[in-house]
A and B are shown apart, each in its own frame.
Chain A
Amino acid sequence: MSTPVAASGSIAPAGSTRPRVVEARDLSLTFTTADGPVFALAHVDLDVAEGEFVSFIGPSGCGKTTLLRIVADLEQATSGSITVNGLAPAEARQARQYGYVFQAPALYPWRTVEQNVVLPLEIMGFAAQERAERAAHNLALVNLSGFAKKYPWQLSGGMQQRASIARALAFDPKLLLMDEPFGALDEMVRDNLNLQLLRLWRETGKTVLFVTHSILEAAFLSTQIVVMSPRPGRVIDIIRCGFPRERGLDIRESAEFLTVAHRVREGLRAGHSDDE
């Protein structure tokens, strides 16, 4: 195996005093398979400050989802260190400090939209009154107020994914982990959901870690873009975007936006050429 190119770099703006939400040092994860080891992640350094929107972009197998799953304690790193809100990932998970949005909505088909949204609240032991209030509040946040009593199969794909976002927000975690949440949706729906997500991020002030395949999506949403490359999965570039928090789809035509998108594309190309 070639020596991985470890691009370290502080994601947090220089001189920032905001507390670190995620801090990873020399993080590696190697899967042992029948065909030999798979280096899912190699020597990744990462810092995410509170309130940031960080996108992870790269081709399949670059470890972006794996990185998110390590933060969520759904996978465990084989070496290196990582803290989530200053805790080990397992402790952070036990303290229910993050909400996770999967690639698919993963709604439970036997529950109505409202019952799906209150699922984490039931598990965490919230009172019925509080559950109902939070369901109403979060469904309103994702514009699904009229659909509380519907079952998942009665909703479109985009609405289902919005319901799953409301579910992740229901217990008000400060950190939101999103694994290609809009990957399966068409472009129009995706644009619309990106705008809604941006508004939600502005209004709630949450920290978001967001995995995506789409350069446009990453550049439009993020304060930071982490460009990753496969075999071994590693960080090859970190790009800051200085767009105003209040922004519309039209910024995608600005020169500044195109510069960012270009740099992401260059990074992806550089990572890819390693293979040949």
Chain B
Amino acid sequence: MTGTRRRLPPAGHLLPVATLLAVLLVVWYVACLPMNAVVAEPRLRETDGSLAERLRISWSLERAVLPAPHQIAEEVWRTVFTVLPTKPRSLLYHCWITLSSTLLGFLMGSVLGIGLAIAIVHVRTLDKSLMPWIIASQTIPILAVAPMVIVVLGSIGLTGLVPKSIISTYLCFFPVTIGMVKGLTSPEIMQLDLMRTYNASAGQVLQKLRWPASLPFLFASLKVAIAIALVGAIVGELPTGAQAGIGARLLNGSYYGQTTQIWAALVAASVMAAGLVAGVGFAERVTGRMLGGRP
């Protein structure tokens, strides 16, 4: 329920994580040899062909099929710390572009999702009429919808942040609606009967019972929502001709065979996703403590 239970002693945590990481790195470095064999071939011919030479070349190719981890780390370091964040060459610049549209989309999606859930819980006919559409909306592949949304909104003069946020909204309202319908209907019959004996209005029941009872469900949904809001923002950056953002870096990288750039963008995206989910988790713990959660 709260963070205290998850907080293992550092040593108990560190060893398994470090072991797994080490194994992954070894596999990665070894995999670089066969993956980059073709690209490395011309340069290998100029050398004596020893294993040491083969490794040195496979791990330092400029346009490797699979760049070595240290090359990706270097790329991340170079684009984060040696360039001003206001410059388009900085990874932070692109992170901010994507992050801002993620957050806006997350905000709009959460509000929309909560609003829909409240409507569905209170109006019985909406449950039957609206729910199939909500579920159907998520069966359409976002990669097919995203270019249309961007182009249609672009034609009416909406470009930049808002169309990308709308794609995030489209993706992330769904788990919020599903979770909140569950959460708002989670109070027991007895707790609802109690409200009835007080002759409480629907608004009072929502405010004093349904809403607080739904918060654990809300935060679970928000964690999913914020992660896919980021995916939505990145997908939204792909069809625009890719001027800026993590999506643009991915697209550019693949145009020009800059695999290191792609990997660096992926690293940035996962760091952002982890940070965002952790942020929601933090808000969850603070709220839980305010509402008297069992430690």
A residues near B (Cβ < 8 Å) are 72-74, 93-94, 96, 98-100, 102-104, 106, 108-112, 119-120, 122-124, 151, 153
Contact = CB atoms under 8 A, between A and B. Distances in A.
12 contacts: A93-B197, A99-B197, A102-B193, A108-B208, A108-B213, A110-B212, A110-B215, A110-B291, A111-B292, A112-B292, A119-B198, A124-B198
A246 B294 CA distance: 41
Contacts of A96: 198-199
Contacts of A110: 212-213, 215, 291-292
A72 B197 contact: yes
A74 B188 contact: no
A111 B290 CA distance: 10
B199 A108 contact: no
A98 B197 contact: yes
A67 B188 CA distance: 21
Given A102-B190, A123-B204, A151-B292, A108 B212 contact: yes
A119 B199 CA distance: 12
If over half of B's interface residues share one DSSP class (helix, strand or loop), that class is named, otherwise mixed; here it is helix
A120 B291 contact: no
Interface in B236-292: 291-292
A109 B292 contact: yes
B130 interface: no
If over half of A's interface residues share one DSSP class (helix, strand or loop), that class is named, otherwise mixed; here it is loop
A122 B208 contact: yes
A102 B292 CA distance: 23
B191 A106 contact: yes
A246 B204 CA distance: 41
10 closest residue pairs by CB, A with B = A110-B291, A151-B292, A106-B190, A100-B197, A110-B212, A123-B198, A123-B200, A120-B198, A102-B190, A94-B199
Nearest to A167: B194
A104 B191 CA distance: 10
B174 to A, nearest CB: 27
Given A111-B292, A153-B294, A106 B188 contact: yes
Interface of B: 188, 190-191, 193-200, 204, 208-209, 212-213, 215, 291-292, 294
Contacts of A104: 190
Given A93-B196, A102-B194, A153-B294, 9 more contacts: A93-B197, A100-B197, A108-B209, A108-B212, A109-B292, A110-B212, A120-B198, A123-B198, A123-B204
Nearest to A115: B292
A180 to B, nearest CB: 12
A175 to B, nearest CB: 11
B194 to A, nearest CB: 6
A95 B44 CA distance: 91
B198 A108 contact: no
Which of B193, B204, B209, B212 neighbours the largest number of chain A CB atoms within 10 Å of its CB?
A: B193
Given A111-B292, A153-B294, A123 B208 contact: yes
B196 A106 contact: no
B292 A100 contact: no
A74 B197 contact: yes
A184 to B, nearest CB: 13
B213 to A, nearest CB: 8
Contact of A108 (B191, B196, B204): B191
A104 B190 CA distance: 8
Contact of A100 (B194, B200, B294): B194
A99 B196 CA distance: 11
Nearest to B209: A108
Contacts of B198: 96, 119-120, 123-124
A103 B189 CA distance: 12
Nearest to B201: A123
Nearest to B204: A123
A38 B212 CA distance: 36
A103 to B, nearest CB: 8
Nearest to A99: B197
Contacts of B204: 123
Which of B199, B208, B215 neighbours the largest number of chain A CB atoms within 10 Å of its CB?
A: B199
A106 B194 contact: yes
A110 B216 CA distance: 11
Contacts of A119: 198, 208
Contacts of B215: 110
A99 B215 CA distance: 28
Nearest to A107: B191
B12 to A, nearest CB: 28
Contacts of A94: 199
A84 to B, nearest CB: 12
A74 B196 contact: yes
